[in-house]
Amino acid sequence: MMQRLDCHVKNYAWGKDGNESEVAQLFAAGHPQHQVGPKTPYAELWMGTHPDGPARVRDSSENLSKLIAKNNSENNNKQEIHLPFIMKIMSIKHTLSLQVHPTKEQAAYLHNQDPINYPDRHHKPELAYALTKFELLCGFRPAKQILQNLQAFPELRKVMGEQETEEFEKVIKNGHPQESKQAKAALRKCFKKMLYSQINSPTLVTEQLKSFYNRLESGIRGALIEETIPVLESMRKHFPGDVGCFSPLYLNHMILQPGECCFYAAEELHAYLSGECVECVGCSNNTIRAALTPKFIDREALINVLNYRMTDPEFYLVPPQKLTNYPNVTEYAPDCKDFTLHEIQILKSQESESLAANDVPTMLPSLKCGSIMVIVEGEARAKYLLNQKIIKRGDIFYIPPRQSIQITSNSNQFLAYRTFSYEIGPNHSFRRLG
């Protein structure tokens, strides 16, 4: 049976404050006993079984992972079965660390070397679906644009190393495509030099940043678009003297409009900048940070894990697909087994307002796996088996496998998101505590 869930909020410092945060508002709508703290940052709402913020079944207060274990017929005495994903709502005020996630193989290696900073053996692919205008940095820019910025901003050359950047320019100008081993190896050297400049020559970084900002003020843009200038200003304010403040010069600045969606797997450098999104991530904590963060920075691991792909930002977009037979469901299926996202949108048509047409129920696909659904807008009647209930904004449900659900919207717009996966989630019972 469909089960109502109580979920967790994360109050990380980069979250939007109080009622400015969609996370706060949505959480309060579904958890009426919660008082929103006006000055408290509300960064993430977690919907999943991850031990750092496990969902509980509202009726029984039991962890969702236990309910899934109980209901799994192939379960051989496991106390808990985890979902392979966490669905999140995020409200981002400013940049939250330049980072990359390892592949499964890399994660296993890192975990063996350093189980404190890499608490599990799993990978963490990520998908971000824009609820509002949503900005992020993702993947290295095409080589041409990096070259253009090296020309326009000698400060970038200085922190990446004169010799290293010269070599990179030569490789590209000699006709090696940006996909080639040579190009990637040359970029890697530039990147490595730059990351280490933060500890090897912090004064150089501070000086070059100052000169870089002066150059921006004089109107020089290189390959930058005007929308990237406020991003640079925000980084300057929140992370003064941080070498990561140069990152928009070599990473793609993506500006997603509501309903647009992007995905990146392991080995891709990225940073969320601002806005609200639905995020689907692998059920893991493995994050390797490069800069723009007070948290642990692991330069060596980061340099080794990156794939140094240089590409247009469109590479990371996930195309929406209307499901045949389910006209109100749009699927976002990235190239990974850990999660697929469904957007469920029912709009009342103006002309037929008083007609029965609006009362035609919307069927949701019956899936062979469990899923989590969050209602983001509106109110509706949900029918399943012989049950019927009103579902509304803020409600979060676990839908067990093979459940047929019919939804009849009571409002002008009903909007919900559902995440599922056919995989079994990781075993978290060996995690270190604390």
As annotated, the binding site for Zn(2+) includes 99, 101, 126, 270
Specify the 3-state DSSP secondary structure of 216. helix
Do 273 and 97 touch, CB atoms closer than 8 A?
no
Number of residues written out for the chain: 434
Known binding residues are 99, 101, 126, 270
d(Cα 381, Cα 409) in Å, to the nearest integer?
6
Q: Report CA 92 to chain centroid distance, whole Å.
A: 11
Q: Which residue has the tokens 């997603």?
A: 256
Residue 179: count of CB within 10 angstroms of its CB: 12
Given the DSSP bridges, would you call strands 44-48 and 3-6 parallel, antiparallel or unpaired?
unpaired
d(Cα 57, Cα 397) in Å, to the nearest integer?
9
Specify the 3-state DSSP secondary structure of 398. strand
With both helix axes pointing from N to C terminus, report the angle between 162-173 and 181-200 in degrees, rounded to the nearest 10: 170
Report which DSSP code applies to 109. H
- N-to-C CA span, the chain: 34
Q: What distances in angstroms separate CA 315 from CA 142, 143, 209, 262, 271, one per listed residue? A: 11, 15, 30, 9, 16
Question: Cα angle at 352 between 347 and 358, to 5 degrees?
Answer: 50
d(Cα 85, Cα 409) in Å, to the nearest integer?
28
Instruction: Give kind and range of the element (H or E) at residue 329.
Output: strand 326-332
289 is catalytic: yes
d(Cα 419, Cα 425) in Å, to the nearest integer?
14
Do 121 and 107 touch, CB atoms closer than 8 A?
yes
Q: What distances in angstroms separate CA 391 from CA 127, 256, 377, 388, one per listed residue? A: 26, 29, 10, 10
Catalytic residue among 289, 309, 402, 431: 289
d(Cα 24, Cα 85) in Å, to the nearest integer?
22
d(Cα 254, Cα 130) in Å, to the nearest integer?
11
Catalytic center residues = 289
